[in-house]
Structure 1
Amino acid sequence: MTTFLGKHSEADDHIAQLRWLGHDVRVVSGGHDKEGVLDAFATGLELPDWFGRNWDALVDALRDLDARHGVPIELVWDHAATLREQDRHAYDTVVEILEQVADERDDLNVTIVTR
Structure 2
Amino acid sequence: MTTFLGTHSEPDDHIAQLRWLGHDVRIVSGGDDKAGVLDAFATDLELPDWFGRNWDALVDALRDLDAPRGVPIELVWDHAAALRERDRDAFDTVVEILEQVADERDDLLITVVTR
Number of residue-to-residue matches in the alignment = 115
CA–CA distance in 1 between the matches of 2:54 and 2:16?
31
Whole-angstrom CA distance in 2 between matches of 1:87 and 1:10: 25
Q: Which runs of 5+ in 1 are unaligned?
A: none
**What's the CA shift for 1:67?**
1.2
Runs of 4+ more than 3 Å apart: none
Provide the residue aligned with 1:70 in structure 2: 70
Could you tell me which amino acid in structure 2 is paired with residue 43 of structure 1? T
Counterparts of 1:100 and 1:65 in 2: how far apart (Å)? 14
1:13 matches 2:16: no
Q: Cα distance, 1:39 vs. partner?
A: 0.2
Secondary structure of the 2:36 match is helix
CA RMSD of aligned residues (A): 0.4
Q: Which residue matches 1:94?
A: 94
1:42-81 pair list within 5 angstroms: 42-81=42-81
Aligned to 1:36: 36
2: CA distance, partners of 1:44 / 1:25: 12
Distance 1:8 1:45 in 2: 26
Per-residue CA distance 1:33-78 (angstroms, 9 max, x = gap): 0000000000111100000000000000000000111000000000
Q: Distance in 2 between matches of 1:77 and 1:98?
A: 9
Q: Measure, in 2, the Cα distance between the counterparts of 1:68 and 1:3.
A: 22
Q: SS where residue 66 of structure 2 aligns?
A: coil
1:107 equivalent in structure 2: 107
What is the TM-score with the length of structure 2 in the denominator?
A: 0.99
**Structure 2 unaligned blocks of 5 or more:** none
Aligned partners of 2:112, 2:105: CA distance in 1, in Å?
17
How far apart are the structure 1 equivalents of 2:98 and 2:14?
18
Q: Give me the TM-score of the superposition, normalised by structure 1.
A: 0.99
